[in-house]
Amino acid sequence: MSQPEMPLEQTGPTEQPEEAQAPQPQIVQTTVIEEQTIVETPSAREPRDAANWAQVVTALRVSELPVGAVNLNVNGRQVVGPLQGFGKMWQKTYWVRLSGAKVTPTEVIQTWKEQFPNFWPKGNRFFKPLTGIKPGEVATLSLNVGGMQLSTGVLVLYADDESFALMTPQGHILAGWITFSAYEEDGATVAKVQLLIRANDPLYEIGLRLGGHRQEDRFWIHTLTALAAYFGVNGIIHHRQECVDPRLQWSQAGNIWQNAAVRTTIYSVLAPVRWVRRLAGAKRTNA
């Protein structure tokens, strides 16, 4: 997909996302119906989001592998939230107004789910689960990180008609989740990516500081540019970021043993050894 040059608005680290600044009525009063008293325990009600969340998983498991995907650094890994990673915690928000496009938030999210890999920059592959982006599904990824390939995955943590979220596993560059959403604002649909993340281990933290954050910015700016272009919009990509927690979590430094970049490199280096072993095994079988 062609990528038109887009002006980029970057703002300082202390600003809040746009939605936090917009004036809005925020309190909805509870309505009391006559004198009827309804006693409910917390667990007695079925919440509206019940079907939107993944089930609790102790370890990820790829059910069916799409063609071309590598199941490396995914099976058996636990998901990790922003509280479990090592580096500084960041909240990064990227958004684009789809001005002029007659498209609803639901249609944007439906398209985004269906075409998700097509909006990614070249050299990075997202192997969508065969059943699509649905809660609990696991996708495998092949990422280009500074010219190096990195195999990992993500869990579809949450999905509804107007948003979905991906949560990362052990070994991924980032610990946390990325939420993709769309909503209406001032007569236009806005598409948004929001990350709440920290580097998973010390090696990744160094990498992020030495250009990784800029590469990540380019990644999501490209994605939103491509999404907007799909709807015929030459939109301005906005970007805000806030350092939520500047502390490093040294208790999580041991995450480095799961580092998917290191493991993918070792896997690639040992490819000839595996090939020779397979060949020798085949010869023994034939003999």
3-state secondary structure (DSSP) of residue 187: coil
CB of 283 to other proteins, least distance (A): 48
Helix axes 213-230, 105-115, angle to 10 degrees: 120
Ranges assigned E (strand) in 21-121? 89-97
Stretch that binds other proteins, among 5-13, 60-68, 121-129, 180-188 (CB under 8 A): 180-188
Interface of this chain with other proteins, residues 5 to 24, rule: CB under 8 A: 16-17, 19-20, 22, 24
Instruction: Please pick, from the candidates 179, 219, 226, 236, the single residue that binds other proteins as defined by CB under 8 A.
Output: 179
Q: Show the tokens assigned to 11.
A: 């703002």
Instruction: Please pick, from the candidates 215, 217, 245, 263, the single residue that binds other proteins as defined by CB under 8 A.
Output: 245
Residue 185 engages other proteins in binding (rule: CB under 8 A): yes
Residue 60 engages other proteins in binding (rule: CB under 8 A): no
Residue 80 engages other proteins in binding (rule: CB under 8 A): yes
Our CB check for other proteins shows the closer of 97 and 125 to be 97
- φ, ψ for residue 138, nearest 5 deg: -115, 130
CB of 53 to other proteins, least distance (A): 6
> What is the β-pairing status of strands 125-127 and 89-97?
unpaired
Nearby residues of 53 by Cβ (< 8 Å), 6 or more positions away? 135, 157, 158
Our CB check for other proteins shows the closer of 173 and 178 to be 178
β-strand partners of 183: 190
For residue 233, count CB atoms less than 10 angstroms from its CB and return exposed for 0-12, middle for 13-18, buried for 19 or more.
buried
Three-class secondary structure assignment of 226-272:
HHHHHCCCCCCEEEEEEEEECCCCHHHHHHHHHCHHHHHHHHHHCHH
CA–CA distance, 87 with 65 (Å, rounded to integer): 31
Our CB check for other proteins shows the closer of 56 and 67 to be 56
Stretch that binds other proteins, among 43-51, 123-131, 231-239, 273-281 (CB under 8 A): 43-51
Our CB check for other proteins shows the closer of 152 and 194 to be 194
Our CB check for other proteins shows the closer of 27 and 266 to be 27
CB of 277 to other proteins, least distance (A): 38
| Binding mask of the shown chain, residues 81 to 120, with x at each position contacting other proteins by CB under 8 A | xxxx----x-x-----------------------------
Q: Show the tokens assigned to 249.
A: 């979590």
CB of 19 to other proteins, least distance (A): 6
Answer for the pair 147, 264: CB distance below 8 angstroms, yes or no: no
> Which residues contact other proteins (rule: CB under 8 A)?
16-17, 19-20, 22, 24-30, 42-43, 45-50, 52-57, 79-84, 89, 91, 157-158, 160, 163, 165, 167, 177, 179, 181, 183-186, 194, 196, 244-245
